[in-house]
Amino acid sequence: MANEMWGGRFAEGPAAIMQEINASISFDKRLADQDIRGSIAQAEMLSAQGIIDAQSAEAIIQGLKNVKAEIDAGSFTFKASLEDIHMNVEARLAEIVGKPAGRLHTARSRNDQVATDFRLYVRDSIDMIDAALKDLQQALAEKALTHAGTVMPGFTHLQSAQPVTFGHHLMAYVEMLSRDRGRFADARRRLNECPLGAAALAGTSFPIDRDRTAKALGFDRPTANSLDSVSDRDFALETLAAVSILAMHLSRFAEEIVIWTSAQFAFVKLSDKFTTGSSIMPQKRNPDAAELVRAKTGRIFGSLIGLLTVMKGLTLAYAKDMQEDKEQTFDALDSIALCIASTAGMVRDMEPDAKRLKKAASSGYATATDLADWLVRVLNMPFREAHHVTGRIVGIASAKGVDLEKLSLGEMQAVEPRITGAIFDVLGVTNSVKSRTSYGGTAPANVRMQAKKWLAKLAK
């Protein structure tokens, strides 16, 4: 039996395997809300333009609302034989309102219909991601404010470098997420053009009003080229690129949580809410939430590469290959939403061990740079000479197995006679972080100011 929606040209129905590979309803049914919104806008425009009569339009619109109610209630039957969400909705509409349903698809193709639905879905997802990122930024800024003065080791190459504060470290991620939100905002702005009315690829001879449908659906304007309108998936690619960069940021933080919660570091603790146990080792508390955030990054990257690969060889305009755009995009958007929520939960749940952090900050000669800076600032020594002198003093401390502040003044003066007792004012890690008052530095006063600034901004 030929497909009832497009079977005029075909005497037979598709082979079973053709039906299976061709159908997309199993995953594109999540576009139901966007599809119905687009169809209502289409019906209203067709009526306003006198292309269909007002009575048919009214019946169509009410019928579409009934279809949405059935889908929302879970009573709608999705049929693989009808391929996709568009034809499933239209077929059910025909059952409800009869002949007027056949007028809905006037001056429209599934090509511009799916492009519109998909843009609406991605736009809705960006809005949800932005709200979730705002919540994560708030969680980080609140924790940072609480721990603006909690000293911890700052690392380069995962080696102790200079003391920083836990709050300063968390605020670095607030800044990263701000850039992520900016990328999503940029992607949203570029995608906010409406393809509806481009029809299959060449536009339509009907006197439609594309500005009206664009406005009804919250778009800034209609797309300007009908070929581009139905074949463009840049909006999905750009969003997936933003999702991928965000996932990378979350993965970096997740990796730090995994390290910080290890017995060897023990910088922070996570409660039972965000850890799991072992089936054989009763002592274990595994940071599985962080590990899964880290792992899902690869899955998200794969979605971006997958869609880039689908699109790379397609001529204009639409090709069925583009049906492969949705599952990858849906999966990445689902994954990133879960990662953001999990990270926010871990941030609010984690408790840093201030004593252990401070002790770790004191090891590894983390205040060596402070010593060198003091030599430059107080003794007017060229930095390269100060670097050399400091290196010799660190060597003495290392040979004795003590921190810099445990050396005697005499031992330091043996390397540089002009050093005075004032040097000890900069060798403690607390004094070190307090001295980093340059804009963007780790001084607790800076961190408090930045955290409060962000919290005020996020509250607006």
Separation CA 257–CA 285 (nearest Å):
13
Residue 149 DSSP one-character state: T
Catalytic residue among 26, 262, 271, 278: 278
Separation CA 132–CA 451 (nearest Å):
18
Q: Is 157 a catalytic residue?
A: yes
Closest CA to 38 of 97, 129, 127, 105: 105
CB 410 within 8 A of CB 419: no
Catalytic residue among 157, 205, 279, 438: 157
CB 333 within 8 A of CB 395: no
From its phi and psi, is residue 83 left (phi > 0), alpha (psi between -120 and 50) or beta?
left
Rounded to 10 degrees, what is the CA torsion of 128, 132, 137, 143?
170
Distance of CA 457 to the CA centre of its chain: 20
Q: Is 56 a catalytic residue?
A: no
CA–CA distances in Å: residue 291 to residues 154, 276, 287, 288: 22, 11, 6, 5
CA–CA distances in Å: residue 351 to residues 11, 254, 257, 355, 401: 69, 15, 11, 12, 31
Active site residues: 157, 278
